[in-house]
Amino acid sequence: MPAGGYLWWYIDALSDDGAFGLSIIAFVGSVFSPYYAWARRGGPASPDNHCALNVALYSRGAKRWSMTERGARHNARDRTHLRIGPSQLEWDGQALNIHIDEVGVPIPRRIRGHIRLHPRQLFNFSTPLDAAGRHRWGPLAPHARIEVSLQHPAQRWRGQAYLDSNEGDEPIERAFTEWDWSRSAMRDGSTAVLYDVEPGRDNGRLLALRFGRHGSVAPFEAPPIQTLPRTAWRIARRLRSDAPVQVVQQLEDTPFYQRAVLRSSLMGETVSSFHETLNVPRLVSPLVQAMLPWRMPRRG
């Protein structure tokens, strides 16, 4: 991976009863890291020196959030294993095992336990997000099952999950200003993904892809853009839908990034979707960069 580049693996999941949810992002070259941005100002910076495991738990009475960055001496990775400080991810040939041992912020509460993600179908699919092909995205397991067993906070549940990956050869601010992304589980077991990069602009790129249960990848006609209410931090966001969109649950609301569960209409179905918006100028602004260490401490 080149200096200044990045690689991340993203997981989201909801329990079968709807009471629990989570997102996990394992970063090599954390794109949100102020320390990585400051290091790049001094010259080439190694992504392996800026790794973090972001864990967000969503449930009544047990919401947690952690993202501690670790320096290179605390990290290790190979084809099947990634260690970031005391936490690690390991592919055993059948499932992805995630051992979490983190401390939340801003309230220092422990997040500890084990998660096992079982792909129903693995995909070997990647597509550029920018014209130069320096930034790429692809799902690894767009439909998966998850088993969650945590000691802190105490919770055990199973549910439906999603796993994908992004990688880039340069910092994201060199190619993008914003994007909207969503994934929706369809009735036939497929997963529909909408990736709206630079939405509404001449240089934008729209991906509308349906990932089938047995490995097929097919484009579909994206519906028109529906504008959603701005977040509390005044982030503009959009989703393509055949009908008005309902915000079911606001999961994350930050100065530069939001995540929510939405209800919309797609290909004749009413669907529930994980949805994210990233505003890159907000992310790289000096004010936000100065604020981020409060939410993203660094160790070593």
Report CA-CA distances (Å) from 131 to 1, 41, 135, 197, 198: 20, 25, 9, 11, 12
Say which residues have a Cβ less than 8 Å from residue 115's Cβ, sequence separation at least 6: 22, 24, 97, 98, 100, 146, 147, 148, 149, 150
- The angle subtended at Cα 299 by Cα 64 and Cα 12, nearest 5°, is 35
Tell me, what DSSP letter sits at residue 71?
-
The HSE-up count of residue 88 (CA atoms within 13 Å, CB side) is: 13
What's the confidence (pLDDT) of residue 60?
82
Report CA-CA distances (Å) from 84 to 27, 235, 246, 277: 9, 31, 37, 26
Structure token pair of residue 138: 């692809």
Asked whether the beta carbons of 95 and 290 are under 8 A apart, the reply is no
Point out which residues pair with 14 in neighbouring strands: 21, 160
What's the confidence (pLDDT) of residue 203?
79
Tell me, what DSSP letter sits at residue 199?
T
pLDDT digit string (tens) for the chain, length 300 residues: 899 999 999 999 999 999 999 999 999 999 999 999 999 999 999 999 999 999 999 998 889 999 999 999 999 999 999 999 999 999 999 999 999 999 999 999 999 999 999 999 999 999 999 999 999 999 999 999 999 999 999 999 999 999 999 999 999 999 999 999 999 999 999 999 999 999 878 778 999 999 999 999 999 999 999 999 999 999 999 999 999 999 999 999 999 999 999 999 999 999 999 999 999 999 999 999 999 999 999 997
Point out which residues pair with 238 in neighbouring strands: 227
What's the confidence (pLDDT) of residue 204?
86
Q: How far apart are CA 171 and CA 44, in angstroms?
A: 12
Q: How far apart are CA 148 and CA 215, in angstroms?
A: 26
DSSP annotation string for 13-67 = EEETTSS-EEEEEEEES-TT-HHHHHHHHTS---GGGSEEEEEEEESTT--EEEE
Q: State which amino acid sits at residue 174.
A: R
Q: How big is the chain, counted in residues? A: 300
